[in-house]
Amino acid sequence: MSKILARPPMNSQLQPISGRSGLPLVGHALAYIRDPLALMQENWDRFGEVSWFSMVGRKWIAVLGPDACQEVLQNKDRAFVNSDGWSVLIGPFFHGGLMLLDSEEHLRHRRIMQQAFTRTRIEKSVDALNPAIDSALDAWSPTDEFRAYTALKTLTLDLATDIFMGGVEGSTESEISSVKKAFVDCVQAATSLIRYPVPGTRWKRGLDGRRVLEEFFRRYLPARRNLETDDLFSVLCHIESEAGQRFSDDEVIDHMIFLLMAAHDTSTITLSTMMQYLGQHPKWQDRCRAESLALATSTPSYADLDGLSSLDLVMKECLRLVSPVPVMARRAVRDTRVRGHFVPAGTYVSVAPHFTHHMAQYWPDPERFDPERFAENRREDKVHRYAWEPFGGGVHKCLGMHFAGAEIKAIMHHLLTRFDWNVDADYVAPLDFTSLPFPSDGQPVDLRRRYSPVR
């Protein structure tokens, strides 16, 4: 039975938002974890672009479709904030990250952070990534039912700690292992149903993990302040905006914790999806491999990776099929409107690019793997400015998206030149949406080594 979220002011032409509360206490949390697309589709069919639903004791507005998403993400009247929205989900673990800042504070941090993701710095990161990827893949043991997601998650986390932290001279293997575990605990805590520090719960492990990370970075930060190198930890300690603004020690620590999470988790999801679909579509795998082999190098430059056009099409299609960040959180700080509906101050808002990416109105046969959608002669992503939005939009659009693309292409280049793999054509990944989506079976592929890698 549908209910009204809140009545618009008297004499207002705005419509009230209809929705449903779901199960007692948990609301629609279990339905979302089980199949978010089905939940969103049901809301769309019953209520349209804007509706409300409950999630673990809070009412959220579901913003569906590119028009509604654009209105919230562009945020022209500045009625929506990131901080209060994301803080409910990940604030205790990733506070201070760029995604959780707003207004002038966000602008100041973004202007400084932009200096960490210039083309020159990304080029240097790619140069460092290549030997690290090569070394990591040497340890892979090809077999049937190889758990690709599990291996890729280890790989991207290793790359994040090596490239972003520069190895952190003097740290022990035990320390690095505890750091990696702390990152995983923080990510998994974000959608914990029990949101109190009860021993044994995800929430408590996440809070403990945050403390481990803060202590680790604070211990090594003075050395990074005194040592200017190309790793991100050092870069954040030294970069400054054009106006001469720099990050404080606390800000460096907050950004490191957030960026390390963002750099490995979302990339892992996209790489895993790409391995699945390339394994199910061998013609595309061969096409991508041919372009990589034509480079005749195991150390492709950033410019080389830019030229892997088929791989770029596959990456974009996989970002559409499985959005690494399925929803984006906001909160209204004053009464406002979305698509003619009244949104009262204090309302939590869930912007859902994952749903837009599967709308048949914009993507013909949306569940079919078809990278040519993004080819110049079709460009289905251009039918609406917000038809394809895996990196968000507006002033909070992902600052690291070019680095992420380079990392993903670099890893895929090495995989394609080293291995062949197959995935059963009928395989459907059992995605777990408890936090960010991941295949709960570890993503099995039949992996075979090709030749000695190109050197």
Q: Would you put residue 363 in left (φ > 0), alpha (ψ -120 to 50) or beta?
A: beta
Q: Is the dihedral of CA 265, 266, 268, 272 positive or negative?
A: positive
268-297 burial, b at 16+ Cβ within 10 Å, e below that, comes to: bbbbbbbbbbbbbbeebbebbbebbeebee
216-234 average pLDDT score? 88
- What DSSP state is assigned to residue 26? T
Domains in the chain: ranges and CATH: 3-449 (1.10.630.10)
CB 301 within 8 A of CB 125: no
The structure tokens listed for 74 are 């562009």
Is pLDDT at 345 greater than 70 in this prediction? yes
Which tens digit of pLDDT belongs to each residue from 226-283?
Answer: 888 888 889 999 999 888 999 999 999 999 999 888 778 889 999 999 999 999 999 9
416-427 average pLDDT score? 96
SS3 content of the chain, % helix, strand, coil (to 5): 55, 10, 35
d(CA 289, CA 412): 9
d(CA 50, CA 342): 10
What does each C-alpha distance from 122 to 62, 189, 224, 303 come to in angstroms?
36, 31, 20, 11
pLDDT range class, residue 187, cuts 50, 70, 90: confident
Is pLDDT at 453 greater than 60 in this prediction? no
Higher pLDDT pick, 170 / 190: 190
Closest by CA to 96, choosing from 205, 299, 283, 253, is 253
Q: What is the pLDDT of residue 167?
A: 62
Is pLDDT at 455 greater than 60 in this prediction? no
The residue with tokens 């490239």 is: 163
Higher pLDDT pick, 390 / 169: 390
Q: What is the pLDDT of residue 260?
A: 82
Q: What is the pLDDT of residue 256?
A: 92
Q: What is the pLDDT of residue 191?
A: 67
Which tens digit of pLDDT belongs to each residue from 101-140?
Answer: 999 999 999 999 999 999 999 999 999 999 999 999 999 9
What does each C-alpha distance from 168 to 121, 173, 220, 259, 398 come to in angstroms?
19, 11, 7, 16, 26
> Mean pLDDT over all residues of the chain?
92
Share of the chain above pLDDT 70, in %: 97
Distance in Å from the first CA to the final CA of the chain: 64
Which DSSP helix (H) or strand (E) runs through 126? helix 119-138
